[in-house]
Structure 1
């Protein structure tokens, strides 16, 4: 049966994690079964093609490791591969001791992978993969193909407080709860959270902090130009090394598609209005906030 075509992928997720009302910084963690470590969707072929291209052509920008993270990188590959065998068996098989990706036709010798084990894991799933030191929670290794206005080279080796230094209200509201949670995170647990923002353009690889430059967004051009960008993030602790595996699954959808969902335009407009100026600026929304709200209000006028 291995020669039969694999089952179709599920529809790409359309996450709408914004909440109306005043902005409240929160961790927003939700416990999930370990089987939900990854989120596959119909966008898998396109995203994986882009990941391969970035790793082949711009590897120094999207892959980085520190000495001392070797064991954690090997364990991360074992965990990802074990998850795919157990929970994504419709698309992954093991003929002759190889891990076969039935969606791409690739085969991987996981006992002796070509290149770095963490890079190999990053070529199997849509998620970006980051490893945090078990003691300091500093970022020690990552495959980061789809950054949202940050560069891996700037964050490697930094602890979480330094990584999030630019995030409004993080130091005041989130630094201590995050540190406590990471310290207490036990193997066998998986938690999920979501981040969202709006980008001008559809590029998934966006390392530049100032975003795209082009003609000013208007209410007329906003539905096609602006994209809701959502990151599904998970945190889990690797059982052998104790390193924390932080995954980021990115989904980006044009505003024109988002507003077709009942209630989405009104909810997004309320969430955007509730953002403090500092948060809107940090997320890159400030330059087109008025145009975005005008476009949303055309779909769902304020009462």
Structure 2
């Protein structure tokens, strides 16, 4: 399959001071939560293929997460944009594909409606949020089977910047999220390979040689509290843009933080 690319990046996170410093969160309007962009058709076709052919690699659910998944599906149905059509017990996506609203687990149905990967986090025994369910079709160098059922600190253990202080800040962020006050952030990663589905085990280092990156992979990550189950939804909208498509100012700023240009 050829690369599924966007041709522009709506937000340049490293040029927005509030996004550039960790954890770099801003208030989110729910009207801006779910994004349909020019890569919708390609991303959704790949998502459907992965869910059909490799469900064990991209979908996971732990006991006790079912109610949160059902609430998330209902919330997504309430926030679908004008490109969708509700027809009885199915939804017609902007690409014309019909998605049945029954017959599949609610989280899979939700994931087949939107471009975003969907991760559900719920408080664990010690209060730290745990990844209890997810559809992760477009991982940026991590594997769902290694992260499911683990708390935030363990999930981010391989990230050098995620020390004890950062872990405490992120947990406070999760605790503070309110249903009426969702948040979002956006990262910036350089990749040589434009594949969207890039799982990688924690013990396996990335092998991109310095200077070989040709693509910017940027994730719009949203944090939405579900009102009834109190779970936090971590949604990930993946942008994959050729570095050559970035404006000159953005490329110059990126060169200061990545030795790839």
For Structure 1 versus Structure 2, the TM-score category normalised by the shorter chain is 0.7 to 0.9
SS at match of 1:236: strand
Q: Contact 1:11–1:41 (CA<8 Å) still a contact in 2? A: no
Tell me the equivalent position of 1:126: 115
Change (3 A) 1:102 1:194: closer
- Out of 265, 274, 277, the position equivalent to 2:251 is 265
Change (3 A) 1:138 1:123: same
Q: How does 1:4-23 map to 2 (within 5 A)?
A: 13-19=9-15
Give the number of aligned pairs. 248
Q: How does 1:1-303 map to 2 (within 5 A)?
A: 13-19=9-15, 26-84=22-80, 88=81, 90-108=82-100, 110=101, 113-134=102-123, 135-208=127-200, 209-211=204-206, 222=212, 226-258=214-246, 261-272=247-258, 289=259, 292=260, 296=261
SS at match of 1:55: helix
Change (3 A) 1:117 1:136: same
Equivalent-residue separation in structure 1 for 2:195 and 2:90 (angstroms) = 33
Structure 1 position 12, deviation (Å):
5.8
Equivalent-residue separation in structure 2 for 1:34 and 1:263 (angstroms) = 30
Structure 1 position 14, deviation (Å):
4.1
In the superposition, the TM-score normalised over structure 2's length comes to: 0.87
Larger radius of gyration, structure 1 or 2? 1
Equivalent-residue separation in structure 1 for 2:239 and 2:59 (angstroms) = 20
Change (3 A) 1:168 1:25: farther
SS at match of 1:170: coil
- Structure (1 or 2) with the greater helix fraction: 1
Q: Relative to structure 2, which stretch is displaced further, 92-101 or 193-202?
A: 92-101
Equivalent-residue separation in structure 2 for 1:131 and 1:103 (angstroms) = 26
Unaligned runs of 5+ residues in structure 2 are 1-5
Change (3 A) 1:107 1:29: same
Change (3 A) 1:31 1:20: closer
Change (3 A) 1:20 1:41: closer
Structure 1 position 252, deviation (Å):
0.9
Unaligned runs of 5+ residues in structure 1 are 1-9, 273-288, 297-303
Structure 1 position 176, deviation (Å):
1.1
SS at match of 2:163: helix
Equivalent-residue separation in structure 2 for 1:173 and 1:270 (angstroms) = 25
Q: Contact 2:226–2:232 (CA<8 Å) still a contact in 1? A: yes
Structure 1 stretches of 4+ with a deviation exceeding 6 A read none
What do you get for the CA RMSD once the two structures are aligned?
Answer: 2.3
Structure 1 position 212, deviation (Å):
5.7
